Structure 1
């Protein structure tokens, strides 16, 4: 158990340092973009960054929890797509926003439960499991509407992703911040959160300490599925449509945001504040490149490079 405590202390120091480093990089990027594009510093532009950070942020909350527990989930992008396609299919018949929310959350729970059971009951490597379910969930999404983008019109539902509260603050950003707060409380202030850190730090020692490892891991995947469903709700609301490509690449951005914020792919370290900063950094770069008229192809190169950089930093941390 002493090894677990030592690893947790080391992990806390790392993700705090990494979070501050990422914050500094974010400030530098903002300064550079402000020089290159005067419009960048406008209130409207920052509100746009906040609004479109919500999807990646919602995904990154669940991803952080899974990563801290020593797992990974690359199926979340497909969950976003599945939620969007299902909601678009049932929206015309229902039109009930509460029903849409319940349906989305049910899909998230089901997908998270499927991933968690495959990982814990069959002891399959999480990357392999979620790689397979990524294709399964995407296939189910396409079957729902036969692979056709499905627009709809519901102003109440659109307010979730495109509406504003307290003046000009996007509802989607408020939802993401609430998720960050709940995630931070869960990880830092509850016995369950402490067990997630312990399992991610040293599963063997955690088992000897009486922690039900399988139950903890299963719970992290269910939470991740719920977060992906909320991201799907926001995405579908912003687009007022179920789009076949709505979740493409979203899992990579979520992983990059979490790792940039201090979450270790080896498990046992991470923070929601760091994840928030990492997500804002990613979306600030994307926003700045859009303002500068940089090709979307080069933006993909930049996003991939950021992810590789984050993984390299995490790798060096474990070698030291």
Structure 2
């Protein structure tokens, strides 16, 4: 078996290390607690959104509404959760359950997830605009304090990324239910023949995606201190790129939770690196795409070489 396929975490780690070394070379001052905090400031919400997308890709679907959903949860967090915490919690719980129901409906009616989620992006976006027509709101004090806490040895973003990686790895890779969920992406019929309800498993995967999407929106508001109906629209493509960059694949239930988090860190660092290069913001998205293409090309080359040998 191909070594890179068995250890799909290697390429994401190498990519992050190279990009980090290049950043340190260009800006030596970033080699500090404050510098790392600045580089990875927005890594936590992006990492959570990437894990949310990974839950969907794990069962062979793709979610084009994630960015709008994270924006909606950010608006709820900055308004209802701040003003009336109990009502805000109930709304966020309802959103998670709605995501689970969406997964069940997609499977039960055999609908294309990419089309359904694209349609849902307008629903989430409309609700976000209804709640917060213009940028505003305020982060709950406890959430702001949590996101700006300063651990002793590493910035909060790095510590949180490690925790997210460990928790998702234990659940997806080490637990029995995580193995079954990956089995849905690998061979849903075999999972059904084993006595599992595929509808229930799809609902669980989508529900977990909704949960991490809610956490991403909350983390984003904790950092930004306010919200906007369009605050996280880029997270849809960033989350997909993070999963693939981290060693995941669109089919077969092949995902890497740790790799997905590292992929999110790499994309966050790429934005900072391009800023240090004084690249125009109009070109930065294209440059991020070029970095992603280079990494994926390298993965494809090594995979083919491994297959030949």
Give TM class, smaller chain. 0.7 to 0.9
CA pair 45-116 structure 1, distance change in 2 beyond 3 A: same
The alpha carbon displacement at 1:254 in A equals: 1.2
Superposition TM-score, scaled by structure 2 size: 0.87
CA pair 179-277 structure 1, distance change in 2 beyond 3 A: closer
Superposed counterparts of 1:249-268, under 5 Å: 249-268=234-253
1:3 aligned partner: none
Residues 78 and 140 in structure 2, CA contact (< 8 A), matched pair in contact too: no
CA pair 27-315 structure 1, distance change in 2 beyond 3 A: closer
The alpha carbon displacement at 1:237 in A equals: 1.4
Superposed counterparts of 1:261-280, under 5 Å: 261-280=246-265
| Distance (Å, rounded) in 1 between the aligned partners of 2:293 and 2:164 | 26
Superposed counterparts of 1:69-88, under 5 Å: 69-88=59-78
The alpha carbon displacement at 1:305 in A equals: 3.3
Choose the corresponding residue for 2:37, options 47, 72, 79. 47
Q: Gapped runs of 5+ residues in structure 1? A: 1-8
Helix, strand or coil: the match of 1:242? Answer: coil
Is 1:161 paired with 2:151? no
The alpha carbon displacement at 1:88 in A equals: 2.6
Residues 77 and 217 in structure 2, CA contact (< 8 A), matched pair in contact too: no
Superposition TM-score, scaled by structure 1 size: 0.84
Q: What does the per-residue CA deviation read over 1:241-265, in whole Å, with 9 as the maximum and x for residues that have no partner?
A: 1212211110211111111111111
Choose the corresponding residue for 2:163, options 172, 178, 185. 178
Choose the corresponding residue for 1:193, options 178, 186, 190. 178
Residues 70 and 217 in structure 2, CA contact (< 8 A), matched pair in contact too: yes
Q: How many residues align?
A: 305
| Distance (Å, rounded) in 1 between the aligned partners of 2:139 and 2:196 | 48
Helix, strand or coil: the match of 2:9? Answer: helix
| Distance (Å, rounded) in 2 between the aligned partners of 1:252 and 1:59 | 10
2:284 aligned partner: 299
What is the root-mean-square deviation in Å for CA atoms of aligned residues? Answer: 2.8
Is 1:118 paired with 2:105? yes
| Distance (Å, rounded) in 2 between the aligned partners of 1:132 and 1:311 | 29
| Distance (Å, rounded) in 2 between the aligned partners of 1:51 and 1:114 | 33
Superposed counterparts of 1:23-102, under 5 Å: 23-91=13-81, 93-94=83-84, 96=85, 100=88, 102=89
